Amino acid sequence: MQAAQLIAHGAPGKFELRDLPAPKPAPDEVIVQVQSCGLNHLDLWLESGSLPIHVQLPRTPGGEIAGRIVELGAAVTNWHTGDEVAIQSNIFCGECEFCRRGEESLCLRGQLLGIQRDGGFAELVGVPARTLVRLPEGVDFDTAAALTLAGSTAMHMLTNRTQVSAGEWVLAIAGASGVGSAAIQIAKQLGARVISTGSTDAKRQLAGSLGAEFVIDSNDPAWPAEVRRLTGKRGVDLVVEHVGGDVLLKAFECLARGGAIVTCGATAGREVSLNLWPFFVKQQRLIGSYGRNRADIQATLEWAAAGKLKPVIDSIYPLAETAQAFAHLRSRTALGKVLIEPYEPVSESD
Ligand SMILES: [Zn+2]
């Protein structure tokens, strides 16, 4: 089978399209024929070698997978070949105290698909059957691949790590990104009034079309003042943050008394210096969020089937153009998801 493997770190890293032996399933695993696989910032960190975890090269990246089961391990009973599935890319053990209560994203023995084991930029991938989520009727492979990781991350942030009540103000940072575009739609469906940010006209327009009531130019260093102005100086109840660094600190300037910031990323910096005085005086909360549970993926795909959550797809590449797909995501010009279709002929690309 063909696989796009990272053989040397860098920005750009070095990729090679390789012909590898087809994976064989362990007793508790299935083999999935990958129809579509989304790219994420996580893949760029893998590419550049900047993850704070050990990575062994060569590695087949890709964690946001949708496909069809083609082979079952000997002990797999509740799935069939031909079943259409998405995959929980936080590979969880299923046995630790956190897994037993459905909090797979807290698993003590978690492994990242496409980082610590080979992922979906390949025609075939082997994964434990417990990580599978069935695609609902009417959700195609590209839709699933565009929502399974980033969309379900937003679902986890807004419905598991925090709650949103009707009429509350929610600020979704970077509304044209995978997490941001889903966060706008989910918060809106939950009855919130949504403000978002974007660095270009096209990105701001996209955020507006997804349901953000106001979209602010994030190039203006005074953008938090605009959030305060729009909310009558009150600030927002919740910030969905996934950029980190200075953006996280600016998010505090946008936050109402008693408000919360939920954060799942640190592309712009992992270390910040926080003034604790206003933080506790205003009784605010900073909430970490990591990955998702299978329940979040299920909810995400069900919302997609019901038309409540739409994927935003920028472009689709064939497997042979994996390096170009990475370059496009790295350029920060993508409007929505960049997908790779390992098994299908290319239908569009830029
Ligand atoms: Zn576990």
Q: Note whether 107 and 199 are same-domain residues.
A: no
| Residue 349 covered by a domain | no
Cα–ligand 1 centroid distance for 95 (angstroms): 5
* Any domain includes 243: yes
Per the domain annotation, does 320 fall within a domain? yes
If you measure from the C-alpha of residue 86 to the centroid of ligand 1, how many angstroms do you get, rounded to a whole number? Answer: 19
Looking at the structure, tell me whether residues 183 and 313 fall in a common domain.
no
Q: What local confidence, expressed as pLDDT, does residue 346 receive? A: 45
The pLDDT mean for the chain works out to 95
What's the 90 CA to ligand 1 centre distance in angstroms? 10
Q: Are residues 269 and 167 in the same domain?
A: yes
Give the Å distance between the CA of 51 and the centre of ligand 1: 21
Q: Say if residue 94 is in the same domain as residue 23.
A: yes
**Buried b / exposed e along 311-323 (16+ C-beta atoms within 10 A):** bbbbbbbbbebbb
**Same domain? 112 vs 175:** no
Q: 110 CA distance to ligand 1 centroid (A)?
A: 6
Which tens digit of pLDDT belongs to each residue from 165-192?
Answer: 999 999 999 999 889 999 999 999 999 9
User: Is 331 found in the same domain as 308?
Assistant: yes
CA 49 to centroid of ligand 1, rounded, Å: 26
Is a pLDDT exceeding 80 seen at residue 284?
yes
Question: Is the residue at 297 inside a domain?
Answer: yes
Cα(225) to ligand 1 centroid in Å equals: 43
Q: How far, in Å, from the CA of 62 to the mean position of ligand 1?
A: 21
348 domain residue, yes or no: no
Q: Which one-letter DSSP state was computed for residue 122? A: B
Determine, yes or no, domain membership for 350: no
**Ligand 1 centroid from CA 173, angstroms:** 31
Ligand 1 mean position, distance from CA 104 (Å): 6
Name the domain count of the chain: 2
Q: Do the domain assignments include residue 268? A: yes
272 and 256 housed in the same domain: yes
User: 100: CA distance to ligand 1 center in Å?
Assistant: 7
Confidence of residue 344 (pLDDT cuts 50, 70, 90): low
Q: Find the 108 Cα to ligand 1 centroid distance in Å.
A: 5
Q: What's the pLDDT at 238?
A: 98
Percent of the chain with pLDDT over 70: 98
Task: Please tell me whether residues 282 and 313 are part of one structural domain.
Answer: no
CATH of the domain at 90: 3.90.180.10
Ligand 1 center from residue 267 Cα (angstroms):
27
**Is residue 42 one of the residues assigned to a domain?**
yes
Tell me, in angstroms, the distance from the centre of ligand 1 to residue 129's CA.
Answer: 14
Picking from 261, 288, 315, the residue at the C-terminal end of a domain is 288
The CA-based angle 230-219-256, given to 5 degrees, is 35
Exposure class string for 243-280: b at 16+ Cβ within 10 A, else e: bbeebbebbbebbbeebbbbbbbbbeeeeeeeeeeeee
> Is the same domain home to 12 and 121?
yes
pTM of the model: 0.92
Contacts of 272 (CB under 8 A, 6+ apart): 244, 245, 246, 248, 249
Token reading at 191: 């009855």
Tell whether 75 and 174 lie within a shared domain.
Answer: no
Average of per-residue pLDDT across 236-260: 96
Report CA(152)–ligand 1 centroid distance (Å).
19
16 and 98 both lie in a single domain: yes
Q: Tell me what the mean pLDDT of segment 23-35 comes to.
A: 98
Q: Which of 270, 288, 306 is the last residue of a domain?
A: 288
Taking the centre of ligand 1 as the mean of its atom positions, its distance from the CA of residue 99, in whole angstroms, is 4
CA of 266 to the centre of ligand 1 (A): 24
Ligand 1 centroid to Cα of residue 126, in Å, is 19
pLDDT more than 90, % of the chain: 93
* Residue range(s) defining the domain that contains residue 7: 2-149+292-341
Question: What pLDDT, in 10s, does the model give residues 199-247?
Answer: 999 999 999 999 999 999 999 999 999 999 999 999 999 999 999 999 9
Cα 228 to averaged position of ligand 1 atoms, centre (Å): 42
Cα four-point dihedral sign 27, 99, 294, 60: negative
Q: 324: helix, coil or strand?
A: helix
Same domain, 298 and 284: no
Q: How many whole angstroms from 238 Cα to the centroid of ligand 1?
A: 29
Contact partners, residue 57, CB within 8 Å, separation at least 6:
5, 6, 7, 8, 9
> Separation of 60 CA from ligand 1 center, angstroms?
24
